Amino acid sequence: MSTTYSKNDLASWERRYRANLLNKISGFKSAHLIGTQNEEGQTNLAIFNSVMHIGANPFYLGFILRPHSVERHTYENIKASGFYTLNAITSAIHQQAHQTSAKYERSQSEFAEVGLTEEFLTNFPAPFVKESPIKMGLSFVEEHPIKVNDTLLVIGQVEQLILPNEIIDSDGDIDLAQLDIVSILGLDSYYKTKRIGKYPYARP
Amino acid sequence: MSTTYSKNDLASWERRYRANLLNKISGFKSAHLIGTQNEEGQTNLAIFNSVMHIGANPFYLGFILRPHSVERHTYENIKASGFYTLNAITSAIHQQAHQTSAKYERSQSEFAEVGLTEEFLTNFPAPFVKESPIKMGLSFVEEHPIKVNDTLLVIGQVEQLILPNEIIDSDGDIDLAQLDIVSILGLDSYYKTKRIGKYPYARP
């Protein structure tokens, strides 16, 4: 049995009930850890569920920053240094990844607090997550303040892509379920996945 | 064994190989059908893998439009009418949903071409997909042209939310795997999901 809710109904819901439901109702999202460091070399690691594909050539990715959140350390470091990393989350590290959302002090590195290993590779000026099988190093290129609610779209270009090449098919296909990459629903629920179909370019 | 690719390596890859791999490497995404109609009442239905959460109160969602693609019918209809629908994709309809990405003529409705049922509900001025268990009616509120590659972020407010309320827990939690909602990887691969964990708000 389906029910129709108006925007006024949504506004009248209890705050936590609304946040739980509406963060999930738009579906499964990718889960990434963003690694940054400040000018003193203090590292930061934060989980994001909003990484989006902007373009493949050049390769651009975006993500959404909420206003006034713990994620602000990430933003400040990106703006100051110009660089950040995106690290895919596997089932093996998803609990540690979730724990990065706690409000640690600026002097604490989430790497050490949650038990993940920071790794500096190929002279890239931001920390990667050693335990992640897909690592990307990005440079900041563009930001768009969202007028309606003060969130921010941040876009970067992928400068370095690190991945296990033996799982890439000859046509570039890759099945992330084989790497145990998880999907996230809302802010608290993690999912494993299984491919049910792959289809050719559709024609009328 | 991991390999590091620079942005120059990515640029040198064959076009289709690059598109396949890089559309997938950023992880699992939500899959939606966007329903619109033009001023003559001609309906359109198109699959999108870029729906993102912008905010819960008020409830805003965004999506990315590629330049010069078949998705332009969707955009023209949204701009002309101000309204569109987002419909979640289940495993039962994922093949029909994929087929909407074919380049149909403007005079053809993808609803009829792929065998999905258009439904007009609660006087909302855009067509819903009858077969979808989660339907949202949105009004256009904001757009942001992405400078680096001419894609476009489109943001709407959810005016109507239609869903089976018996699957919502008392705290607003919902497990979309129970509704057989699929996740999508890249442009061609569909996944079912299974929850592996749900965690409380993290504290240091």
Q: Measured between CB atoms, does B54 come within 8 Å of chain A?
A: yes
pLDDT of A68 above 80: no
| CB–CB contact B162 A54 (8 Å) | no
Q: B 111-130 residues with CB below 8 A of A?
A: 113, 121-122
pLDDT tens-digit map of B176-200: 999 999 999 999 999 999 999 999 9
What mean pLDDT comes out for the span A62-90?
A: 90
pLDDT tens-digit map of B123-155: 999 999 999 999 999 999 999 999 999 999 999
CATH 2.60.40.10 fits A32-187, yes or no: no
Q: Which residues of A touch B101 (CB under 8 A)?
A: 201-202
pLDDT of A185 above 70: yes
pLDDT attached to residue B69: 64
| CB–CB contact A191 B189 (8 Å) | no
Nearest by CB to A3, which of B165, B202, B204? B165
Taking the C-alpha atoms of residue B9 and residue A161, their distance in angstroms, rounded to an integer, is: 9
Q: Which residues of B touch A181 (CB under 8 A)?
A: 27-28
| CB–CB contact B27 A32 (8 Å) | yes
A102 burial (CB, 10 Å; 0-12 / 13-18 / 19+) is middle
Nearest by CB to B5, which of A54, A141, A161? A161
pLDDT attached to residue A122: 86
Residue A67's pLDDT band, with cuts at 50, 70 and 90, is confident
Taking the C-alpha atoms of residue B89 and residue B132, their distance in angstroms, rounded to an integer, is: 6
What are phi and psi for residue A94, nearest 5 degrees?
A: -70, -30
What are phi and psi for residue B13, nearest 5 degrees?
A: -70, 155
A·B CB contacts under 8 A:
357
**Rounded to a whole number, what is the distance in Å from the CA of A138 to chain B's nearest CA?**
10
pLDDT of A69 above 70: no
Residue B69 carries which DSSP code? S
pLDDT tens-digit map of B57-115: 999 999 999 876 656 899 999 999 999 999 999 999 999 999 999 999 888 999 999 99
Q: Which residues of B touch A142 (CB under 8 A)?
A: 146-148
B27-191 adopts what CATH topology? Answer: Pnp Oxidase; Chain A (2.30.110)
pLDDT attached to residue B165: 86
Q: Residues A126, A84: contact at Cβ < 8 Å? A: yes
pLDDT attached to residue B92: 98
Give the count of beta carbons closer than 10 Å to the beta carbon of residue B203: 9
Task: ipTM value, please give it.
Answer: 0.96
Q: Pick from B67, B87, B24: which is nearest to A198 by CA?
A: B24
- B24 to chain A: closest CA residue: A174
Please state, rounded to an integer, the average pLDDT across all residues of chain B. 96
**Rounded to a whole number, what is the distance in Å from the CA of B83 to chain A's nearest CA?**
14
Taking the C-alpha atoms of residue B160 and residue B116, their distance in angstroms, rounded to an integer, is: 21
What mean pLDDT comes out for the span A158-166?
A: 95
CA trace torsion A63, A66, A70, A72 (10° rounding): 70
- A46 to chain B: closest CA residue: B202
Taking the C-alpha atoms of residue B99 and residue B11, their distance in angstroms, rounded to an integer, is: 29
The lowest-confidence range among A163-167, B157-161, B189-193 is A163-167
Dig out the tokens for B77 from the structure. Answer: 């209809």
SS (H, E, C) B86-130: EEECEHHHHHHHHHCCCCCCCCCCHHHHHCCCEECCCCCCCCEEC
Please state, rounded to an integer, the average pLDDT across all residues of chain A. 96
Q: Residues B173, A24: contact at Cβ < 8 Å? A: yes
Q: Could you tell me what percent of chain A has a pLDDT over 90?
A: 92
What mean pLDDT comes out for the span B149-178?
A: 96
pLDDT tens-digit map of A17-59: 999 999 999 999 999 999 999 999 999 999 999 999 999 999 9
Q: Measured between CB atoms, does B175 come within 8 Å of chain A?
A: yes
CA trace torsion B43, B45, B51, B53 (10° rounding): 40
Q: Pick from A170, A174, A60: which is nearest to B10 by CA?
A: A60
Q: Pick from A104, A101, A93, A133: which is nearest to A23 by CA?
A: A101
